Structure 1
Amino acid sequence: MKSIPTKSAVVYFNSDVYIELNRHIKNTNPSSIFILVDTNTHDYCLPQFLSKLESNNIVVEVMEMPEGEDHKTIDICTGVWEALSEYHADRKSLMINLGGGVVTDLGGFVASTYMRGIDYINVPTSLLAMVDASVGGKTGVDLGSLKNQIGVISEGSMVLIDTSFLDTLPQNHMISGYAEMIKHGLITDRNYWDTLTQLEKLDISDLDQLIYDSVVIKNNIVSEDPTEKGLRKILNFGHTLGHAIESYFLQNADKTPLLHGEAIAIGMLLEAYLSTKVCGMSLEELANITDGILKSFQKVEINHQDLEVIIRLLKHDKKNSHGKVKFVLLNAIGKPTIDCEVSNDLIFEAFDYYNNL
């Protein structure tokens, strides 16, 4: 597969990954290399990665963090910053983030802020990170249960996508990443959406191309609007309500936390309904989207008493402006509209639609 140049980095795939990584290390000659993993990627991905890493006698240190969204915090960042300092990382050190979206988001933020920024490389090991989290330079951590409230936009030197790491991924995490691919189709490309919703006609050999296509879609958007002043906002389809739902389920001890993609799938269904009310999207399109998402994602019980809290959480969404909640909605599949305002009454209607599916 051809590499994909981004604004200041390059995304490499499969057979090129370790060739380009080792070439980068040889050419830049970092003073030290730090590999950030979580408890899962330490066991399942690190041995393969280290076996192909040519460090050229450069000291390599591995830093391990707990796995899971609830550890995507400033406290973990502080631990990683302190470890870098204790091991005498300097401005010529290289940080490699080997993991899913939590590791690439947090690791990118740590690298971008340590000594005002050191070189870093993302090696995504989950489908979510491959198609979304590791590409585009968004780094950061959660503030309590509020998603990605602290961070910077700062790209690393390269993204290395080795799809063999997906063999280590549980099925529910594969499906979680699939939600972001669905989103890419809904906001830009009806043909891509149609392909994704006919997975029963595909086999595993098709997955590499679908991942590649998804990265191309995201990169095209980010390249045109790297700092999210306009077009890049469309990548938030499903995320306004999805993030609020994800935060609510994370902070509520009575709820089972949702994976990111599981929450975004709910958000896309809700925001597809809102699209019919605000943007005039047809009911046929809504049915198409609903059927396509429910093929892969099970409904989640959301009680009426949950809704007030979820709606209150919307005020923390990063797209908001002047106290107004701003949604990305669809005129049709592949035709998004940004900065849409939606009444609370319509949001309650959308949840009624979802709960009655």
Structure 2
Amino acid sequence: MDSISANNSLIHFNAICYKALNEHLEKHNFSKIFILVDENTHQHCLPVFLEKLKTDLAFEIIEIESGEINKTIETCVGVWNALSDLDADRKSLMINIGGGVITDLGGFVACTFKRGIAYVNVPTTLLSMVDASVGGKTGVDLGALKNQIGVISDPDLVLIDTQFLDSLPQNQMRSGLAEMLKHGLITGTDYWNKFLDLSKLSMEDLDTLIYESVLIKRNVVQEDPYENGLRKTLNFGHTLGHAIESYFLSNPKKETLLHGEAIVVGMILACYISSRLTGFSKEDTNYIKQLFINYYGKVSIDKTEYAPIMDLLKYDKKNNHGNINFVLLEAIGKTKIDCQVDDAIIEEAFDYYML
């Protein structure tokens, strides 16, 4: 697979990854390497990575606890302190090996430590390969509120080695698949139709689909890096999806949802809202709902939970001037941004999902 240029980053795939990284280390005068992992990637991914790392530079491993619950400013403080204690300087390089929590948080730590050090993302989950590690968004949650603190900053390199997916649980694979399904809905039937029968997909097919998903996101981000227009389309399903994810994260009576599991619900709700407001096909809405429920099952959301979930919409990052802005579909591959939606229609969408 050819490498992909994305703004100030280069994205490399599989065998090319380590050659590109080692050449990067030779070319730049880094003082030291710091590798950020969680307990899972420390065990399953770091040994594979270190076997391919060819450098005489000293390196240190910094481990944080896994999970969205640890994607906080407090965790950042711990990593910043570790960097200081281990004598990191402005010529240090940070390598983030993990899923979206690691690449989001690690990128934020790197681009704020001493006003910015270089960093490389090595995504190890499907979600981080096709979404979190690409596009320059870094940051952390504010309590249960998703990605409220952060900056847009490009890594030097993104290294996508799909062999890391071999150790990934199925629920994590499904979580990443949700973002790929989203890419299909917002870009068109050519890509969308490839997901209609997952039983026919081989691992080689998956590698190709990952590559195409990265291209889709790269093309959007390259045209609109700071989310003034086109990049908002990547938030399809995320307005309500993030609110649902935050609600389940903060409610001790609910089982925490993975990002993709919440986004799938958000996409079904957004399709229904689209069918009410933009003329999106009701037949397509019903088909998408059934397809997604076949793949993911149904999340139980009681009527009494609609209001507290909807209260969280006010924190969505696309909002402006007091308006809650949705991304909707007019057709598969045709989006409409900055749409306002009455509460009554959102409640209808929840009812439709729970039918």
Q: What TM-score do the two structures reach when normalised by structure 2?
A: 0.99
Instruction: Indicate the percent of aligned positions where both proteins have the same amino acid.
Output: 60
State the Cα RMSD in Å: 0.7
What is aligned with 2:290?
291
What is aligned with 2:15?
15
Partner amino acid, structure 2, of 1:167: D
What is aligned with 1:41?
41
Counterpart secondary structure, 2:57? coil
What is aligned with 1:337?
336
Per-residue CA shift, 1:204-229, capped at 9, x if unaligned? 22110000000000000000000000
What is aligned with 2:207?
208
Per-residue CA shift, 1:94-153, capped at 9, x if unaligned? 000000000000000000100111000000000000000000000000000000000000
Alpha-carbon distance, 1:201 to partner:
1.9
The equivalences for 1:26-175 within 5 A come to: 26-55=26-55, 57-175=56-174
| Distance in 2 of aligned mates of 1:11 and 1:196 | 24
The equivalences for 1:191-230 within 5 A come to: 191-230=190-229
Per-residue CA shift, 1:277-332, capped at 9, x if unaligned? 11111111212322332231110100111111000000000000111100000001
Which runs of 5 or more structure 1 residues have no equivalent in the other structure? none
Partner amino acid, structure 2, of 1:139: T
| Distance in 2 of aligned mates of 1:333 and 1:292 | 15
What is aligned with 2:267?
268
Partner amino acid, structure 2, of 1:297: Y
Partner amino acid, structure 2, of 1:53: L
What is aligned with 1:319?
318
| Distance in 1 of aligned mates of 2:153 and 2:300 | 37
| Distance in 2 of aligned mates of 1:291 and 1:92 | 52
Per-residue CA shift, 1:161-201, capped at 9, x if unaligned? 00000001000000000000000000012111110122122
| Distance in 2 of aligned mates of 1:92 and 1:226 | 26
Which runs of 5 or more structure 2 residues have no equivalent in the other structure? none
Return 203-212 or 70-79, whichever deviates more: 203-212
Partner amino acid, structure 1, of 2:131: D
Partner amino acid, structure 2, of 1:222: V
| Distance in 2 of aligned mates of 1:319 and 1:155 | 21
After superposing on structure 2, the runs of 4+ consecutive aligned residues of structure 1 that deviate more than 6 Å are none
Q: What TM-score do the two structures reach when normalised by structure 1?
A: 0.99
Partner amino acid, structure 1, of 2:91: K
Residue 251 (structure 2) pairs with residue 252 (structure 1): yes
Partner amino acid, structure 2, of 1:285: D
Alpha-carbon distance, 1:29 to partner:
2.6
| Distance in 1 of aligned mates of 2:277 and 2:338 | 11
